[in-house]
Amino acid sequence: MTTKTVFKHILVGVDDSDDARLAFQYAIATAIQRHARLTIVSILESHELSVYEALDKDYIHGERSELDEHIKSYVKQARDAGVEQVDALVSEGKPGEVIVNDVIPHAQADVLIIGSIAKKGLKRRFGSQAAYMAKYAPISVLVIR
């Protein structure tokens, strides 16, 4: 017996990469088509900071404020495109772990849409945030390239 999966709440991970922008556009189109709620999430990657940056509270606050403002532009884009229910979350840490362990349980979405850059050579052997989320997320994961 097959059942049709209905996605009524879409979670999309965004950053400034081309693949994330593709995933975001796909999430918008899907939310409009399915009359679904859209939650946009972005993670401030704290592991990319130097020791000096991590110790500078003003730097961290500035980065977080910048990200908060940036995600508002994603919300506006989604609303302008016609998505009726849009909200956003910003968090800090390793994106895959934070989204799987914190964001998904909090947002209670039905599906996660993320982008993934196809890696070549040795880089593909080390895995990626997208691979981590696809493997460990308790909900369906759609990877856009």
**CB-facing half-sphere around the CA of 80: CA atoms within 13 A:** 7
Give the number of domains in the chain. 1
Query: Looking at the domain assignment, is residue 48 inside a domain?
Result: yes
Q: 68: domain CATH number?
A: 3.40.50.620
Query: Looking at the domain assignment, is residue 32 inside a domain?
Result: yes
Whether 4 shows a pLDDT value over 70: the answer reads no
Query: Looking at the domain assignment, is residue 104 inside a domain?
Result: yes
Query: Looking at the domain assignment, is residue 125 inside a domain?
Result: yes
Supply the pTM of this predicted model.
Answer: 0.83
Which one is predicted more confidently, 16 or 21?
21
The average pLDDT across 60-81 equals: 86
The average pLDDT across 96-105 equals: 96
Which one is predicted more confidently, 86 or 17?
86
Burial class (CB in 10 A: 0-12, 13-18, 19+), 93: middle
Query: Looking at the domain assignment, is residue 83 inside a domain?
Result: yes
How close are the terminal C-alpha atoms of the chain, in Å? 31
Query: Looking at the domain assignment, is residue 115 inside a domain?
Result: yes
